[in-house]
Structure 1
Amino acid sequence: MSEKPPYIVRPSAPASSPYRAATLIFLHGYGDDAEGLPLGLAQQFQFYNKMEHLKWVVPNAPHNHEAMTRAWYVPKALPNAMKPHVPGHEEDEDEGGPDDEAGIMQSVDLVDQLVEQEIKNGTPAERILVGGFSQGCAVSMVWGLTGRLKNKIGGMVCLSGYLPLKDRIDQLIEERQPEESADEISLHGKGSKKWFYVHGTMDMLIPTKLFVQAKEDLTRWVSREDIEEHLYPGMGHSTCAAELRDLLGFFDKVVPP
């Protein structure tokens, strides 16, 4: 799907360390690439000797000719979700065509392939995390609900994004995983993974109302106690120290050394 292979940031802990392996598969945002924000996050953690046992796998989205940039899908349904938000024009946010389901689900399939490869490489499935920033967050959220291996992993890391295809999730689960038992696909019965879903109050690309709505929508399929959510005052479409502190705390809970 992508003409550039994933960027790999190896654990900084020595191979002889007693730490247990863990992997974060992290999708970059619209128009970015693996060596942008994701690499910056990985380097920050390693610079401060945090999560030394964590391997970062950061795939590159293909160049999308319609979007004219790297994109996991074409953001048709939410025109204001990928361009500056103008206060007072909230009524325009829901205009647009349908979500690019084909593009989103192709990206979901790629995540499944990456998770499967990490398991084959020897990382225990429960010590694999999946997530992303912005459009990468949106794809990861859909994967966390519909992905083939969604019930195997330990957690989701969802930064500054929203949930597309929310009205298609139930049908996609049924279409993509008909072999699952009733217990596996019942409400609040989709595995034991934890979710870290956060946003900034000054995000001018993805309005806060989309975060609030997605958080509520998510509880249709995920128990509220499995969702750690934060809304950071003053943070734009970026990261901040408080977010990184909370993310470190989440890492320590779901993939401790």
Structure 2
Amino acid sequence: MSERPPYIVPPTAEASSPARPATLIFLHGYGDDADGLPLGLAQQFQFYNKMQYLKWVLPYAPHNQEAMTRAWYMPRALPNAMKPRVPGEVAEEEAPDDEAGIMRSVDVLDELVEQEIESGTPPERILVGGFSQGCAVSLVWGLTGRLRDIVAGVLCLSGYLPLRDRIAELRNERAVGSNEKDAKQWFYVHGTMDMLVPLKLFVQGNEDLLKWVDRENIDGHVYAGMGHSTNSAELRDMLAFFEKVIPA
């Protein structure tokens, strides 16, 4: 767990019943903070009086000494169309993923979900998600996390699926069950102009996700012209997803 406690954005109104609180645990991206993009998202929803009963739990990644910034794991370079390839040089994107770091962050998500359940939020009223690197961790947690079967869904913005060749083994090692189809709901979206996480990685992540998740349980969108960011169409679709899986 990070040395800093999560930034908590409390609900501004109760759900239709006090027994129906709802929580979103949302991880920030590489080099960002909980009070960066995640807090901005929460504030936008609250400013427009949307999802007023939703509690936002926004954790801080630990400070990574090697990267000199906050990171959920040590990233490898992603394919970048703007970066020239040097003949004979091993591509950085072919380097292995930081499995130890990713799985430590997966365990952090399990701890946070457990804390929310202990505080009184029903597991079927909990969402887990993230942006960019936070999205990557959330995708892996959604497939291998200890408590991933009991939550309402996973929210994945502008990220890719790391450890894609290890997921089946990790599910077996962690007693998740490699042949079981995932029953929760997924929101997985991307922008066509994302220059940091290329669209082809989102497409690849979707294909991999379908090995364990039925297509009808994936609410997927691609936004024309959107970069490594958010836009109004994405927020509109997020709201529809929230209202479907954790209604008031």
TM-score range, shorter chain: over 0.9
Secondary structure in 1 matching 2:127? strand
| 2:239 aligned partner | 248
Q: CA deviation at 1:175?
A: 1.0
Q: Which amino acid aligns with 2:127?
A: L
1:2 counterpart = 2:7: no
Structure 1 residues 71-105: Cα deviation after superposition (integer angstroms, max 9, x where no partner)? 000112xx136xx641886x997733210000000
Secondary structure in 2 matching 1:130? strand
| 1:46 aligned partner | 46
Spell out the pairing of 1:1-257 with structure 2 (5 A cutoff).
1-14=1-14, 18=17, 20-76=20-76, 79-80=77-78, 85-86=81-82, 95-177=93-175, 185-188=178-181, 190=182, 192-257=183-248
| C-alpha contact (below 8 Å) 1:153/1:193 kept by paired residues | yes
After TM superposition, the score normalised by the length of structure 2 is: 0.93
Following the alignment from structure 1 to structure 2, what is the Cα–Cα distance between the partners of residues 221 and 43? 34
Following the alignment from structure 2 to structure 1, what is the Cα–Cα distance between the partners of residues 113 and 237? 24
Gaps of 5+ in 2: none
Following the alignment from structure 2 to structure 1, what is the Cα–Cα distance between the partners of residues 209 and 152? 17
Following the alignment from structure 1 to structure 2, what is the Cα–Cα distance between the partners of residues 155 and 88? 39
Secondary structure in 2 matching 1:157? strand
Q: Which amino acid aligns with 2:179?
A: S
Following the alignment from structure 1 to structure 2, what is the Cα–Cα distance between the partners of residues 18 and 116? 22
Secondary structure in 2 matching 1:151? coil
C-alpha RMSD of the superposition: 1.9
After TM superposition, the score normalised by the length of structure 1 is: 0.90
Following the alignment from structure 1 to structure 2, what is the Cα–Cα distance between the partners of residues 10 and 205? 32
Q: Which amino acid aligns with 2:29?
A: G
Q: Which amino acid aligns with 1:186?
A: N
Q: Which amino acid aligns with 1:160?
A: S
Identity among equivalent pairs (%): 68
Q: Which amino acid aligns with 1:70?
A: R
Following the alignment from structure 1 to structure 2, what is the Cα–Cα distance between the partners of residues 85 and 33? 27
User: Aligned residue pairs: how many?
Assistant: 244
| C-alpha contact (below 8 Å) 2:14/2:21 kept by paired residues | no
4+ long deviations beyond 3 Å: 91-96
